[in-house]
Amino acid sequence: MSYYIPLKDYFDRNLAQLLSKKITAIYPDFPSDSFIIRVGEQVEGLELKRRVEMITLEFHKALNLPYEEAIQVIKQILGPENEAEQGMFTNGYYLMPIAHYVERFGLDHFDLSMDALYEITKRHTSEYAIRPFLNKYERNVIEILNYWIKDRNPHVRRLVSEGTRPRLPWAKHIDVLCGDTYMNLGLLEKLITDNSPYVRKSVGNHINDLSKIHPDEVLEWAKIMYTLHGSGVEWVVKRGLRSLITDKNPDAMEILVMMEE
pLDDT value, residue 7? 84
Phi-psi region of 223 (alpha: psi -120 to 50; beta: other; left: phi over 0): alpha
Has residue 95 been placed in a domain? yes
pTM, two decimals, is 0.93
Domain assignment present for 164: no
Residue 24: which domain range?
A: 1-129
Q: Is residue 77 part of a domain?
A: yes
Domain assignment present for residue 198? The answer is no
Q: How many domains does the chain have?
A: 1
The average confidence (pLDDT) of the chain is 94
Tell whether 162 is covered by a domain.
no
Q: Is residue 65 assigned to a domain?
A: yes
**With 70 as the cut, is the pLDDT of residue 4 above it?**
no
Give residue-wise pLDDT tens across range 174-186.
Answer: 999 999 999 999 9
Position 89 scores a pLDDT of 67
What pLDDT digit, counting tens, does each position of 144-177 carry? 999 999 999 999 999 999 999 999 998 999 999 9
Domain membership flag for residue 144: no
Nearest Cα residue to 192 out of 181, 202, 179:
202
Q: Please, which contacts does 242-245 make with residues 24 or more away whose CB atoms are closer than 8 Å?
A: 242/208, 243/208, 243/211, 243/212, 244/211, 244/215, 244/218, 244/219
With respect to residue 190, please indicate whether it lies within any of the assigned structural domains: no
The more confidently predicted of residues 21 and 90 is 21
* CA atoms of 118 and 140, how far apart (whole Å): 15
The stretch 106-113 carries a mean pLDDT of 98
What whole-number percentage of the chain has pLDDT above 70? 97
